Amino acid sequence: MRNMIWAALLMLLGLTPAIAAEPSAARTEVVLLGTAGGPLVNIHRAQPSSMLIVNGTAYLIDAGDGVTRQLALAGRSSADVKAVFLTHLHADHSAGVASLIGFRWSFAANGAKLPPLAIYGPPGTRELRDGALAFLEPSTRIFRAQAPVAPPMADIVTAQDVAPGIIYKDENIIVTAVENSHYATMHLPAAGHGADRSYSLRFETPDGSVVFTGDTGPGESLTRLSRGADLLVSEIIDIDGMLRFIERSTKLPEQARAPLIAHMTEEHMAADALARLASDAGVKRVLLTHFAAPAAFAPPPGALSAAVRRGYRGPVIEGADLLRIALDPKATF
C-alpha cells in the first residue's frame, strides 16, 4: 500500500513511469541509485548509493548526496528502507544520511508507524548519525509547530559502529564486512571512536550472494570475501583520466599531489586489478559502479567494461543510475 501511495505522489510531482525505474518482479535485485565516483559533481551520475531488494524489503549500501531523490526515481522512499550499510564515511558515500533521516521523520510526523532506520558502518557511524541529528534540529524544531504527534527525531534512527565479521542478519540477508585497502597509504589522525576503517560487504540472500567492494584497491581480504559470489558490484577508476584531471584541474603544489596520486593508483580499483580479482575469486558476474572518471577526461562508454573483459571471462555490466540487476539462482552465464 505504501508503494502505491508513493507512486501516486511521484505522479503528482511530475515523475512519470517513463522517468521512474520500473519495479521488477524478481525476488532479489540490485538497483544502482548513484554511480558517480568521488566527491565530484557529475550531471550524468548521482553520488554513490545502491539498493538491495530482497522479498520486497529494501536495504541501502551507502547513501551519497541526492539518495532520497534517487530512491523516488526507483519507486521507493526513505520510509521503505529497513537498514543502511555504509562502506566508509567519505562524504560522497554518506552525505545523504541526513536527508534519509529527515524525510523518514516527516512520514512519522504525519502519523506513519515506522521502525527506526538502522545504520551500520565503520567506527564513526554513530558520530555521523549524531551530527546528522544536530544538523536537522533547526528544521525539526520549526516543523514541530505543525506536527504535534511527531516523535523525537532520535527515535526514528539507530546507528552502530561495527567491526569486521558478520555485522547483520535477518530473515532475508546475512551481511559480512571485511576491512579493505582504501585507507592503506593514509596517515589518519587519531579519533575518539578509534581507527577509521573502510569496508567491503558481502550479502547472502535466498537467490545468491552479492559483494559490494565499496572504495578500495585490490587485497587478499576482498578476494576471500568475493569468492564464488554471484554478483560483484565493484568500483572502477580510469587511472589515466584521473591523473590528467589531477595534473590539469587541481591547484595543488607538487608535494601535495604525491599522496593524492598514491591514493588513486593504490586505493582504488583499476580495470586490470578488477579483472584479476574477479578471476581469482571465481565470481559469476561483475557490475561496474562508482565510476572514478572525471567527465572532462572520461573514456568513451563501454571502454572500462571492455578493459575488464580483457582479463576476466565472465559477464561485465557497465552500470548506470537506476539500472536493475536481478539475481536468479537458475541463471547460467
Share of residues in the chain with pLDDT > 90 (%) = 70
Q: Is residue 332 part of a domain?
A: no
Q: Give residue 15's pLDDT.
A: 32
Residue 143 is assigned to a structural domain of this protein:
yes
pLDDT, tens only, 136-191: 999 999 998 888 888 999 999 999 999 999 999 999 999 999 999 999 888 888 88
Q: Is residue 108 one of the residues assigned to a domain?
A: yes
Q: Is the pLDDT of residue 9 over 50?
A: no
Residue 256 forms part of a structural domain: yes
* pLDDT tens string 89-133: 999 999 999 999 999 999 999 889 999 999 999 999 999 999 999
Contacts of residues 8-16 at CB distance under 8 Å and 24 or more positions apart, as own/partner, are: 10/72, 10/75, 13/72, 15/72, 15/73
Which has more pLDDT, 13 or 59?
59
For the residues 30-41, what does the mean pLDDT come to? 93
Highest mean pLDDT among 12-26, 74-88, 246-260: 74-88
- pLDDT 10s digits, 252-270: 787 778 888 788 888 999 9
Residue 1 has pLDDT above 90, yes or no: no
CA dist 216 and 181 (Å) reads 5
Q: What percent of the chain has pLDDT over 70?
A: 92
Q: At 150, is the secondary structure helix, strand, or coil?
A: coil
Q: What confidence score (pLDDT) does residue 241 get?
A: 84
Domain of 255, in residue numbers: 2-18+26-326
Q: What is the pLDDT of residues 281-321, one digit of tens each?
A: 999 999 999 999 887 788 899 999 999 999 999 999 999 99
Give residue 3's pLDDT.
43
The three cell numbers locating residue 147: 506536527
d(CA 111, CA 145): 15
189 exposure class (CB count in 10 Å sphere: 0-12, 13-18, 19+)? exposed
Q: Is residue 331 part of a domain?
A: no
User: Which pLDDT value is given to residue 46?
Assistant: 96
d(CA 189, CA 178): 21
Instruction: Please list the alpha-helical segments (H only) found in the chain.
Output: 2-12, 67-73, 91-94, 97-109, 125-143, 220-226, 239-249, 254-266, 271-281, 303-309
Residue type, 180: N
Q: What is the CATH number of the domain that holds 39?
A: 3.60.15.10
Q: What's the pLDDT at 255?
A: 77
Question: Would you state the pLDDT for residue 8?
Answer: 38
Beta strand segments in 111-254, E = 117-121, 157-161, 165-169, 174-179, 199-205, 208-212, 231-237
Total domains, the chain: 1
